[in-house]
Amino acid sequence: METPLEKALATLVYTFHKYSGKEGDKFTLSKMELKELVKKELALGEKMKDSGIDKLMGTLDKNNDDEIDFKEYTGFLSALCMTYNDFFQQDAK
Amino acid sequence: METPLEKALATLVYTFHKYSGKEGDKFTLSKMELKELVKKELALGEKMKDSGIDKLMGTLDKNNDDEIDFKEYTGFLSALCMTYNDFFQQDAK
């Protein structure tokens, strides 16, 4: 039986591929695909302007190939998790 | 409304704290807490021997303080995600 943690990890993988397959290389996110993912899957993305997406793309795209591969995506998720954890820990104090 | 991706990220944070609070520093995982998390929350952990836990602890504990902090935990999750993604991509080819 799949545990909550395994379901969560599977969701992270599924969400990447939900958008990465839309254009170009189906295993990487173009800027358009990243923008759509962020705007549809993250509350913080709803109000994000194109300049914010450009900045995010620049931060995540470590090898400067204008694509976000899965490893770069996990870096993004780790940063998001760290932010969530900071809120969690402040609440717990 | 919380999206699936946000629910997944919250689950990752919640799972860490479900175990980190059991002994010692409530914001880090001791070896015992890591062992319990891996055995209860991951299928791969069910059959893992203590030697496997020791090895995992050694790999994750980047600053050698015998504790896994949240950042080290996200490194573990990223590695797990990369493994899940490899399976996903092989299936998709």
Whole-model pTM over 0.95: no
User: B5 — contact with chain A (CB < 8 Å)?
Assistant: yes
For residue A42, how far is the Cα from the chain centroid?
Answer: 8
Contact A82, B70 (CB under 8 A): yes
Please tell me which residue of chain A has the smallest CA distance to B78: A74
**Complex-level ipTM:** 0.91
pLDDT tens for B22-80 read: 999 999 999 999 999 999 999 989 889 999 999 999 999 999 999 999 999 999 999 99
Is the per-residue pLDDT at A90 higher than 90? no
How far, in Å, are A50, B38, B43, B45, B87 from residue B52 at the CA level?
Answer: 46, 11, 14, 9, 22
> Across the interface, which of B11, B78, B80 has its CB nearest the CB of A4?
B11
User: B32 — contact with chain A (CB < 8 Å)?
Assistant: no
> Across the interface, which of A43, A74, A82 has its CB nearest the CB of B71?
A82
Q: How many angstroms separate the CA of residue B11 from the nearest CA in chain A?
A: 6
Rounded to whole angstroms, the Cα distance separating B79 from B24 reads 26
Q: How confident is the model at residue B12 (pLDDT cuts 50, 70, 90)?
A: very high
For residue B82, how far is the Cα from the chain centroid?
Answer: 13
